[in-house]
Amino acid sequence: MKNIELDVILQAIPSLSYVDTKRLNNTVKLKLDSDVVGKVIADREDCVSECPHCNELEFIKHGVTAKGIQRYKCKSCSKTFCSLTETPLYRMRKEDKWLEYISMMWEGVALRKIAKVLNINLRTAFFWRHRFLQMPDKNKPTSFTGIIEADEAFLPESFKGKRVMPREPRKRGGGKVPLVPILISYQRGDRFSYEVMKKNTKENLSNAISPLLTEGCCLCTDGNLSYKSIVKELNVNLDHKRIIAQDGRVIDGVYHIQHVNGFISLWKEWLDRFRGVGTAYLSRYLAWYIWMQDKSYGEEDRWLREAVQS
C-alpha cells in the first residue's frame, strides 16, 4: 500500500465512532495474526542491538525499505542495515510465499514442482532452498558427552549443480565413481554432528571426531583401526569400544553403533527423492534431515524465526 493511502486511513480514525473503531481494531488484529512472516520480521526488529558490520552499539533509525522494514544507520561506520542484514532472509523477495515454500521443504518436494506450484523461477527455488538451509548447517554441536557413536557413510562423488566439471565426464559403465566419505557422530539423546571429508584418511577422521570428544565420554566405533590410533593420541581420558561384527554387535548390552547406522540408512533413503545430491551440498542436506528429526510438521514459523537469528 502506498504511504498516501495509509495517511488517508490514519486521518479518518479520529472521526470514527467507537463501534467502527472496534471493527477496525478487530480487522487489524486479524491481519496481524495471519501475517506470520511480518510478525517474525517485526520481532526481529525488537532484537536489533548492534551494527552487523562493526558490532558498535550506537545507531539511529534511517527510514524504511520498500517492504516497510525499518532501516538503521551506524554512528561509527556510517553503514546502513536493516533487521534482516546478514541473515539468510536478507534481500529475499516474495515473502508471501516463504511459508508455503518451507512447508514443501518439509515434504521434500522437488525443486521443479515447487517452482511450478509457487510460480517462481527454478533458480529462485534453488536459491531459497540453500538460504533456508544455512541456519541448520550452522547449528552443529561442538562437543559431546556420555556415549558417542561414530561411523562413516559413503556416497558417490557428484558435481550436480556445478557449471564447470573439474574432470572429464564419464560414460555410463566407464569405471568406478569415487566415493565421498562422511563421518556421522551421534551422542545418545538425539544430538548429531557430521563432517564431509575429501578422503577417508586417519588425519581427516581425527580432524572431524577429535573436537567432539570430551573428558569421560565413551566412543563406540566399528573395527576401523584409525579410531583406535586417534583415541590413543588424544590427551583426553575417555573409553573406546570397538564394535566388531564377528564378536557381536553389542557390548555389555549398552555399547553399539546401531543408532548411527540406522540414521545413515534412513538418511540415504530420504536422499533418494532428490535423484542425486551434489557433493558440495551434502552437509546442508544432512543438516536439513537432522533439523527435521526433532521438529514437527507445521512449524514453518519456527524455521523462519531461527533463520533470522543466524
Per-residue confidence (pLDDT) for residue 11, from 0 to 100: 85
- Please report the DSSP string for 8-45 in residue order: HHHHHGGGS-HHHHHHHHHHHHHHHHH-HHHHHHHHHH
Q: What is the pLDDT of residues 287-301, one digit of tens each?
A: 999 888 766 666 777
Strand-pair category, 70-74 with 59-64: antiparallel
Q: Which residues of the chain have pLDDT under 50?
A: 1
Locate 142 and state its grid cell: 561442538
Distance CA 111, CA 114 (A): 5
Asked if 178 and 250 touch (Cβ cutoff 8 Å), the reply is no
- Local structure of 62: helix, strand or coil: strand
Per-residue confidence (pLDDT) for residue 3, from 0 to 100: 66
Distance CA 180, CA 40 (A): 38
- Local structure of 185: helix, strand or coil: strand
